[in-house]
């Protein structure tokens, strides 16, 4: 019996391109970032990679990568997850939902109210990341809101979060819990 081994060039090319992008973006991080990514790893959907850099893919047209993910440590109630989403593909990518096993998750944006106070509400239409562009999920801006924690999240703990894209693909990443006292916006649920 003989078996023929054939190299799969497309996934290797996608992996090489993603690795090159991650290496380039690693130098763009700020020293004040709450988490540090390991830019040498990435994974296709359904596989695991080291915390800090996770990606969805399957074709060269659309690649979404999560960099420096972190979640605000909390005893209960609500908290939020942050990081940077990068689309290195040539078509827009839309994140339509997120989930974790410890809380329902909503996609949130933050805006100034009539009185100038910052408030957050659910982001209609999800997060759209344009081709060869990124979206920062950060305190005081767009973020993932964990709505009803089933247990405390302690500093140093790792929380697995899954993003669902408009085309049905998912991106799973691990966010490290950090103590953080800022971004004390009020929650203004959307109506209708």
Q: Which residues contact 45 (CB under 8 A, 6 or more apart)?
A: 56, 57, 58, 169, 170, 171, 172
The pLDDT of residue 168 is: 92
Query: What are 190's two structure tokens?
Result: 């959307």
The pLDDT of residue 51 is: 43
Q: Which residues contact 131 (CB under 8 A, 6 or more apart)?
A: 87, 89, 90, 91, 92
Mean pLDDT value across residues 3-31: 37
The pLDDT of residue 183 is: 53
> What digits encode the pLDDT tens for the residues 99-158?
999 999 999 998 877 777 777 888 989 999 999 999 999 999 999 999 999 999 999 999
Mean pLDDT value across residues 55-59: 46
How is domain 9-182 classified at the CATH fold level?
Immunoglobulin-like (2.60.40)
Whether the predicted pLDDT of 159 surpasses 70: yes
Q: For the chain, give the secondary structure using H, E and C.
A: CCCCCCCCHHHHHHHHHHHHHHHHHHCCCCCCCCCCCCCCCCCCCCCCCCCCEEEECCCCCCCEEEEEEEEECECCCCEEEEEEEEECCCCCEEEEEEEECCEEEEEEEEEECCCCCEEEEECCCCEEECCCEEEEECCCCCEEEECCCCCCECCCCEEEEEEEECCCCEEEEEEEEECCCCCCCEECCCCC
Q: What is the pTM of this model?
A: 0.65
CA-to-CA dists, residue 98 to 48, 107, 166, angstroms: 17, 7, 11
């Amino acid at each position: 019996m003989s078996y023929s081994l054939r190299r799969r060039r497309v996934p290797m090319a996608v992996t090489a391109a993603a690795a090159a992008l991650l290496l380039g973006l690693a130098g763009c991080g700020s020293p004040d970032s709450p988490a540090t990514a390991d830019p040498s790893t990435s994974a296709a959907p359904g596989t695991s990679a080291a915390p800090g850099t996770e990606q969805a893919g399957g074709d060269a047209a659309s690649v979404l990568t999560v960099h420096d993910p972190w979640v605000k440590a909390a005893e209960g109630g609500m908290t939020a997850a942050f990081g940077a989403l990068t689309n290195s593909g040539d078509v827009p990518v839309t994140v339509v939902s997120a989930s974790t096993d410890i809380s329902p998750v909503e996609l949130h944006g933050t805006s100034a109210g009539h009185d100038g106070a910052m408030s957050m509400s659910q982001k209609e239409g999800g997060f759209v990341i344009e081709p060869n562009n990124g979206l920062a999920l950060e305190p005081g801006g767009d973020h993932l809101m964990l709505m009803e924690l089933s247990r405390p999240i302690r500093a140093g703990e790792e929380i697995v979060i899954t993003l669902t894209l408009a085309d049905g693909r998912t991106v799973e990443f691990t966010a490290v819990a950090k103590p953080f006292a800022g971004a004390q916006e009020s929650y203004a649920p959307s109506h209708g």
